[in-house]
Structure 1
Amino acid sequence: MAFYYRQGEVPKKRHTIFMKDNLLLREEVFGLNGFSGRYSLLYHLNPPTRIAKVGEWRNNLIEEWNNAGYRHHKLSTSKLRKSNDVFLDRIPLIFNEDVIISYAKVDEGESKLFYRNADFDEVYYIQEGEAEFRSVFGSIELVQGDYLVIPRGTTYTFNFKRYSELLVIEGKQVEIPRQYRNDYGQLIEGSFYYNRDIKLPNLKTFNEKGDYNLVVKTSEGFQSITLDYHPFDVIGWDGYLYPFALNVYDLEPITGKLHQPPTVYTTFTANNFVICTFVPRLFDYHPNSVPISYYHDNVDADEVLFYSSGQFMSRRGISKGDITLHRGGHVHGPQPGAVESSLSKRGSYNDEVAVMVETQRRVKLTNYAKEVDDPSYPLSWYIP
């Protein structure tokens, strides 16, 4: 996060003795990029190094769809099975060295495990459902349309209040775009969203003993460990590194006389990819505008688009929850007839919501993607 935040009790000076009810609290420096990146200071009732048991290791290597070729794809998440666990059993669909894009369908209920991703920041997009995110930093109430951004290394869990579907994006250096921030971290006038739109964690401290199972994920697998204390034993913390949420319906789209490029909808930047959000907005209002995306080929990028809700004017045959992958080096854009039908929409309102992940390196598909792929999709622009 780009600005300072504080919850609970913290001492006047860092790295000093801090007592609570005759107990010496344990300070943790939680940070990225060694000791030169963003960090927070957390104050625990127990040493955060304390592990009662080391459990099993489970490999989690992604199986690539080796003969996928090099073409456009459409994947239907409606055909995916349910996930037994949002962390252990999410279904990876698209990936490369920088990003993993997965999907999860989970039933109502409280997660029995605690989670920690050691290698990647995580972005959960709540496509459907409602949940309470619980973490060592505190809790955030999540509803449909929320992005939840979790820094790598954060210990957390979920309580799903009803059946939920989530798009999950894993990568490094997921941040609020630099162009939206001034030198003090305040979001500037004209940015896509403002500081008030960001939902921050509310701290709740647990001082409980028992067996608590924590799963630590790396890029290659899962390591289970058991703690003999509740991991959310923090009585206070402060700093610049913590989870937060943002709802797509609070975003403030930039519109104009002529069609705007996807860059104006950049929501988060990351290492070698960006996350953009197309949200309800006015169509272009120049008297001769074409209020629909132009044909384009971003040669150096692959474009992944998740269709969340609304009417997708540029495409037919797209359903809520579908994912398209448009390959750099192949042109894509409106389907036949879409440009002509859009001309009557000038100045009117578009109600679509879609999440776009644009990568700077080529992505691969998994065998799970193969199961829900529409092989006829590359021909959807062709009318004989």
Structure 2
Amino acid sequence: MVFYYRQGEVPKKRHTVFMKQDKLLREEVFGLNGFSGRFSLLYHLNPPTRIAKLGEWKNNVLEEWKDAGYRHHKLSTSKLRKSNDPFLDRIALIFNNDVILSYVKIDEGETKLFYRNADFDEVYYVHEGEITFKSVFGEMELSQGDYLVIPRGTTYKFDFKKSSELFIIEGKQIEIPKSYRNDYGQLIEGSFYYNRDIKLPVLKTFDEKGEYTLVIKTIQGYQSLTLDSNPFDVIGWDGYLYPFALSVYDLEPITGKLHQPPTVYTTFTANNFVICTFVPRLFDYHPQSIPISYYHDNVDADEIIFYSSGQFMSRRGISKGDITIHRGGHVHGPQPGAVESSLNKRSTYNDEVAIMVETQKRVKLTSYAKEVDDPSYPLSWYT
């Protein structure tokens, strides 16, 4: 995050002796980009370096769908199997060196493992479900329509209150757009959302001994470790780096006299991609405006859209949970008849929500994507 936040007990001065009940607490500097990026200071009851046992290493190199060709795709997440774990068993569908897009269907219950992604920030979009997110920074309650943004290196776990489905985005430097922020980190007038829309973790401290399994993920695979104390033993922290959540239902869509480009719905920026959110909104107010999207070819970008809810005016044959991939170099836009039917309409459907990930480098599809791909989708503009 980009503004200062504090939870629990912290000493008056950093890097000084801090005692609690005659016990010396252990300070951790949790930061990005060496010692020059955003960071937070956490105060542990136990040294966060203690490893009781080194577990197994598991390779996890993504298997590419080599003969996917270069065309548009539609993937049906409804056809995916359930996952046994949201971290180890998430189903990766789309990727390149900058981003991995995955999907998870998971039953209710609390995860036994603790997780930490060492290489990528993570965004979990709650497509369906109710979840308690638990982390070294504290807890947050999540529900349908919430984005959960987790900085890389964060230790966390989940308690799924009911069966849930999650669209997951992994990448570097996922953050609130700089264009929305003033020099102090405050979100400016005219931005897509405001500071008070952001959900922040509430600290809960666990002073427990036992065996706790932590799994650390890298681009290449997973390393498991056994700890002898609960890693959520922080009694206080402060700083500018921590997980947060944002509901799509709190977003404030920007409209104009004529059709606005998707960039006005940018929700988060990242290294070589952006995350945008399409939410219910009024259409343009020029008397002759065409409210629906124009045909377009963003030659240098690949466009991935996850359809979360509602009926989308520009597309037929799209179901809740579908993912489309529109390739740069191929023109795409409204299907036949969509432009005509949109004329004189004043707004989108009330429950229309979609998540767009637009990449600056070409994406690849995995073997899992092949299993749920609709090969006829590129012809959907013909009839």
Return the TM-score normalized by structure 1. Answer: 0.99
Once the two structures are superposed, what CA deviation does each residue of 1:306-345 show, in whole Å capped at 9, x if it has no partner? 0000110000000000000000000000000000000031
Counterpart position of 2:315: 315
Distance change in 2, residues 1:61/1:347 (3 Å): closer
Q: Find out whether 1:168 has 2:168 as its counterpart.
A: yes
> Does the CA contact (< 8 Å) of 1:117 and 1:154 recur in 2?
yes
Q: Which residue of 2 aligns with 1:177?
A: 177
Spell out the pairing of 1:109-128 with structure 2 (5 A cutoff): 109-128=109-128
Q: In structure 1, what is the equivalent of residue 352 of structure 2?
A: 352
Judge conservation of contact 2:310–2:349 (CA < 8 Å) in 1.
Answer: no
| Equivalence for 1:23 | 23
Conserved in 1, the CA contact under 8 Å of 2:52 and 2:226? yes
Distance, in Å, in 2 between the alignment partners of 1:107 and 1:338 is 38
The list of structure 1 runs, each at least 4 consecutive aligned residues, that deviate by more than 6 angstroms after superposition, is none
Per-residue CA shift, 1:4-35, capped at 9, x if unaligned? Answer: 00000000000000000000000000000000
Aligned to 1:233: 233
Does the 8 Å CA contact 1:283/1:350 hold for their aligned counterparts?
A: no
CA offset digits 1:90-112 (Å, max 9, x no partner): 00000000000000000000001
CA RMSD of aligned residues (A): 0.8
Instruction: Provide structure 1 residue ranges, at least 5 long, that are not aligned to the other structure.
Output: none
Within 2, Cα distance between the matches of 1:105 and 1:258?
Answer: 39
CA deviation after TM superposition for structure 1 residue 138, in Å: 0.1
Once the two structures are superposed, the pairs formed by residues 237-276 of structure 1 within 5 Å of their partners are 237-276=237-276
> 1:5 — aligned with what?
5
Distance 1:347 1:101 in 2: 30
Q: Once the two structures are aligned, what percentage of the paired residues are identical?
A: 84
Correspondence for 2:60: 60
Q: Secondary structure at the match of 2:168?
A: strand
Structure-to-structure mapping, 1:288-327, within 5 angstroms = 288-327=288-327
1:311–1:350: 8 Å Cα contact kept in structure 2? no
Letter in 2 for 1:19: M
Q: CA deviation at 1:256?
A: 1.4
Structure 1 CA distance, aligned partners of 2:88 and 2:349?
40
How far 1:380 moved relative to its partner? 0.4
Alpha-carbon offset, residue 285 of structure 1: 2.1
**Deviation at residue 347 of structure 1 after TM alignment:** 5.4
Q: What is the deviation of 1:286?
A: 1.5
Amino acid corresponding to residue 380 of structure 2 in structure 1: S
For 1:137 and 1:61, the matched residues in 2 are separated by: 30
SS at 2:305's partner residue?
A: strand
| Aligned pairs (5 A) from 1:22-171 | 22-171=22-171
The letter of the residue matching 2:317 is: G
Cα 1:319/1:213, change in 2 over 3 Å: same
User: CA–CA distance in 2 between the matches of 1:207 and 1:266?
Assistant: 41
Number of residues of Structure 1 aligned to a counterpart in Structure 2? 383
Secondary structure at 2:169 match in 1: strand
CA distance in 1, matches of 2:219, 2:300: 25
Report if aligned partners of 1:55, 1:225 keep a CA contact under 8 Å in 2: yes
CA offsets 1:336-377 (integer angstroms, 9 cap, x no match) = 000000003135755310000000000000000000000000
- Separation of aligned partners in 2, 1:62 and 1:349: 37
Contact 2:101 2:169 in 1 (8 A): yes
Q: Secondary structure at the match of 1:369?
A: helix
Q: Which range moved further: 70-79 or 340-349?
A: 340-349
2:280–2:348: 8 Å Cα contact kept in structure 1? no
Instruction: Give the Cα separation in 1 of the matches to 2:249 and 2:348.
Output: 18
Give the residue type in structure 2 aligned to 1:323: I
Contact 1:285/1:347 (8 A) holds in 2: no
Alignment of 1:273-284 (within 5 A): 273-284=273-284
Output the CA distance in 1 between the equivalents of 2:348 and 2:364: 38
Q: How big is each residue's C-alpha offset from its partner over 1:42-78, in whole Å with a ceiling of 9 and x where there is no partner?
A: 0000000000000011111100000000000000000
Amino acid at match of 2:2: A
Return the alpha-carbon distance in structure 1 between the equivalents of residues 167 and 235 of structure 2. Answer: 32
CA contact (8 A) 2:175 2:268 kept: yes
Gapped regions of structure 2 (runs ≥ 5): none
Q: CA shift at 1:162, angstroms?
A: 0.1
Mapped partners of 1:116, 1:78: distance in 2: 28
